[in-house]
Structures are given as C-alpha cells and as structure tokens.
Chain A
C-alpha cells in the first residue's frame, strides 16, 4: 500500500501521460523486443497500457516495422512455402513479393500471418533476362543455406535494373539470408541476418563481390561461393573475438587475478591502512 499523503517528492509528481505518449512507449518496447520474444513483450505491453485501444494502436504501428526489420518468415496459405518479409520485397505495407514463386503475399502484421497469396503482375517481376540470373543465384543459395543455416530462410531480389532486356547493362540483385533460433527452456535466442548486394555489370564482366564471372551459368554458384567465403571469414573472426573476449578484452574491465597472480592479501592491506591511520594521527595532518 502506498501512502500518497506522505508528500514524498517522488510521488507528488503524478502527471498522467497523454494517450499519444503511452502509445509511443508501447511501440518502443515492441520494437526493441529481443529475437523470439516479441509476443511475450506484447503481452506485457498490453497489460501496462491497460486500455486495449491504446495497445492496438501501438501494435499496429510497431509490428509492421518489427516484422520487416527482424526479417520474419511466414507460411503461405497455398502451401507453396514461406514468404520472407524484408524491405527489398516490400511492395507496400502489407504486400510482399515472393521472387521464388513469382507471387505476392498479403500479410497481417499484428497477427504475424500470411492471409492470402496471388500471382505477381508482370510489372512487379524482373524481365526474363534478369530473372534467369536471379534464378541461378537462388538455386545455389538454397543449397548453401540448407547446409549452413539449419532452418534458415533466404531470398534473392532484383533491386535495380530489373527491366533490363538484354546483356550490356548493369543490374543489382540482393541476397538475403535470415535465421533465428529461440530456445526459451535454455533461456537463449538469437537471429542472424545477411544481406548481400551484388552489382552485376556484364559489359565489364564483373560483380561487386568478386573480380570476374566466366559465364552466366556459373554466375549463381560463383556469387554464392563468395558469399559463403565472406560469411565464413566473418564467422571465424567472430570466433577469434570470442576467444579474445575472456583473455584480453574482458581483462580491460576486470582481471582474473592481480598482477601478483595471487589472491589479494586482505590482512596485509588492513595492516597497511592501520599504519597509515597511525602515521596520520601522529603527524596531525589531514590527507
């Protein structure tokens, strides 16, 4: 029981927050939920906001942003697989392109569900020429993701120059890999996202990831191989950092043991401080 009559400085400032402020706080909590925990955070926010209308507002603003940022994947109702929600495939807030099946998925963000699938229009898809390329990369990518990322989802989008009809121009595909793992029993969760933009200029026979591509057919494998290589380098660097963490980096904060490599000598330290105390009293000086 709080005693409101006490007039404690902290409690007299009972300024009630405006609705907009409450909604924006609710939205902030939702957006910052760690991987796999957004639904639990949503439950808490609903309780904290008490007013279900305010919660609905916060959720409708937060979930679309959260879902795309976290690159969640949703099962499509026609059984054709999953749709990966990313900014590259976003046609509008609730419509997402699925390049692999050349369709468009309609999404309910708050429910985190795909409600409908329809075939994509010609304008939404890349030209046949560019699609050939995109398809190539996608095939190689699926193999890689299957090996390296258990349960991961991936997609290849055409992000620039999708209407290029023939060789000699420049276009860009974006490779996206997203994997998340959540184990509440073990109190852990995580998510991995990789986004690789590949700029292809056929005149110069080059791609931004690697020097040369020999021919169109190999392109897919070559690009994915470079991605694999770069990601492996990243991973082994990460591994090195983890190893360093305890040895060197953590030491910056607190050593395992003093430089003497023995535990701290408490009794000696006490004697030292007592001696200092006595010297101080003798000399009559204040430090």
Chain B
C-alpha cells in the first residue's frame, strides 16, 4: 500500500486519474483506502430542478448517488438517502449562497458546492467547501490564454464551539490541484501541474457567526495556497530550467559563468592588495 501511495506521488499530476485506475486494478482489495487517500479532480453534476451545477465528493455521496446542495435531492434518485439535520441544512443552504458570491468574485465563473454534516462524536459540525474552475478557452477563461486550465479546491473544516458559545474552534485542511497548458505561442504550448495541501487551526470570536469565520479562513487559506503554488511550483520550475540551461549573455550571481567570473574578480582583488 505504501508503494502505491509513493508511486501516486511520483506520477505526473496529469496522469493521476490513470495512475489511480491502474492501482485500483492491481490492488482491488485496497480500493477504499486508495480512493480515500488520493486526491482526484472534482467531477461536476447538474441539478435540473434548480438549473445549477454541483460538485461530487465523498461527503455528498450515498452509495452511488450524489446529493445536490441546492435541492438536497440525490441523483440518481435515492429513497431515504442520508440528509443533514434540519439546522445544518439551513447552514448548508446559506453557505452555498454566500460561497457562490465569493466564487464569482475570485474566480469569475466556476462551480462551488458546500456540504455540511454532523461528525461522529456529535460535537459541533463539519463542512467541505469545493470550488472548481475551468479556465480554458472552452471553459470560463476570459482572456484566451489557456488551452487547458483547471483549479480544484477542496476545503474540509471541522468546527467546535467552546462551552460559553463565545468562540469557535476551526480546523481547516485544504488541497488545491492545479493543471494548465498555455495557448500556442512562440515556444509552443507549455504545461504545468501540481497540487498543494495545507492545514490551519485557530479560534475566532463568534460575533458574526460561524459562516463568516469559515469564509475568512478559507479565503486566507486560498490566497496562501495560490501564492504557494506560484512561488514553489512556478518559481522553482523556472529555477530548475535555468539550472539545466543557463541564459547566456545574462550574468547572474548564481549562474555558472557568473560564479566563475566572481571567483576570478575576488582572486584578482586578493592579489592586487
């Protein structure tokens, strides 16, 4: 099983679906563990009643059916499918609406879904906020820059209240999966992909309610992840490319030629003293 997880981590992200399928075929006995431990891009379904889309994950699944956060009905239809308790369902509806606005402002398109449930120990509640954006030309991309582009964010948050109900304790685990291919330019299409997972835990006052706090945390987390992806993946990739092939004619402190030049200058200075 560890070999399976290791190989999943090493495979290029664009092949992760195929890699997972292969592992499921090789190790059928471990299928539930494999599925729960690996991150896959989110799938979209449509709620015809509300004329909206929603995202699929383990938290809105019952058997082979998935529950829409808009109508709260299962598709394919399910009699007695698992439903959140009434109070939580209200929170869920509100969350879906508010995150929809948030999504529109940051993503200018895309699909979002929020699912709320009661955790096993019955204390507090848990929610997952999913956002999927297709930024390609065929999708919601507005500037025609991407041939392919997808951002999948999965935030799972556990919420507890202190005894006096003055503070909320929030534990957020977020994963963002990214894949993009730029549109044809002088160098031809250019592809990058990666994923990043982070955790955050904090206590916040309840003056504006849980939803407000959850929203702020998720917003902060997404910004961090976006910057992380930017610096670590894109910045690092650039660094690796320039390590492989130096930009000649540009002397930088870290380049091969730059460094040998530096050494020569230092030596000359030393000798002339």
| Chain A interface residues (CB < 8 Å from chain B) | 2, 8-11, 13-17, 21-22, 25, 28-29, 32-34, 37, 40-41, 43-45, 47-49, 147-150, 152, 179-181, 188-192, 228, 231-239, 241-242, 244-246, 248-260, 263-264, 266-267, 269-270, 272-274, 276-277, 287
Contacts and interface: CB of A to CB of B under 8 A. Distances in A.
A252 B105 contact: no
Contacts of A28: 18, 22
Interface string B120-139: 00000000000001010000
B209 A44 contact: no
Chain B: number of interface residues, binned into ranges: 35 or more
Interface in B94-146: 94, 97-98, 101-102, 105-108, 133, 135, 141-143, 145-146
A256 B102 contact: no
A252 B7 contact: no
A269 B247 contact: no
B202 interface: no
A273 B94 contact: yes
Contact of A270 (B11, B212, B239): B212
B76 to A, nearest CB: 14
Q: Is the interface of B mostly helix, strand, loop or mixed?
A: helix
Nearest to B136: A252
Given A14-B28, A242-B237, A254-B133, A47 B141 contact: no
Contact of B25 (A25, A149, A234, A276): A25
A239 B141 contact: no
Nearest to A233: B186
B12 interface: yes
B64 A9 contact: yes
B101 A269 contact: yes
Q: Which of A188, A257, A287 has the most CB of B within 10 A?
A: A188
Contacts of A22: 26
Nearest to A192: B244
12 contacts: A48-B23, A148-B248, A150-B246, A188-B236, A237-B185, A246-B230, A246-B234, A252-B146, A263-B219, A266-B212, A267-B208, A270-B212
Nearest to A228: B248
A181 B241 CA distance: 9
B263 interface: no
Contacts of B257: 147
Nearest to A246: B230
Contacts of B145: 244, 248-249, 252
B261 interface: no
Q: Which of A232, A249, A255, A267 has the most CB of B within 10 A?
A: A249
B59 interface: no
Nearest to A47: B3
B84 interface: no
B3 A48 contact: yes
A181 B244 contact: yes
Q: Which of A13, A237, A252 has the most CB of B within 10 A?
A: A252
Contacts of A15: 28
A63 to B, nearest CB: 17
Contacts of A276: 97
A49 B23 CA distance: 10
Contacts of A248: 143, 145
B226 interface: yes
Given A9-B63, A29-B19, A254-B133, A234 B240 contact: no
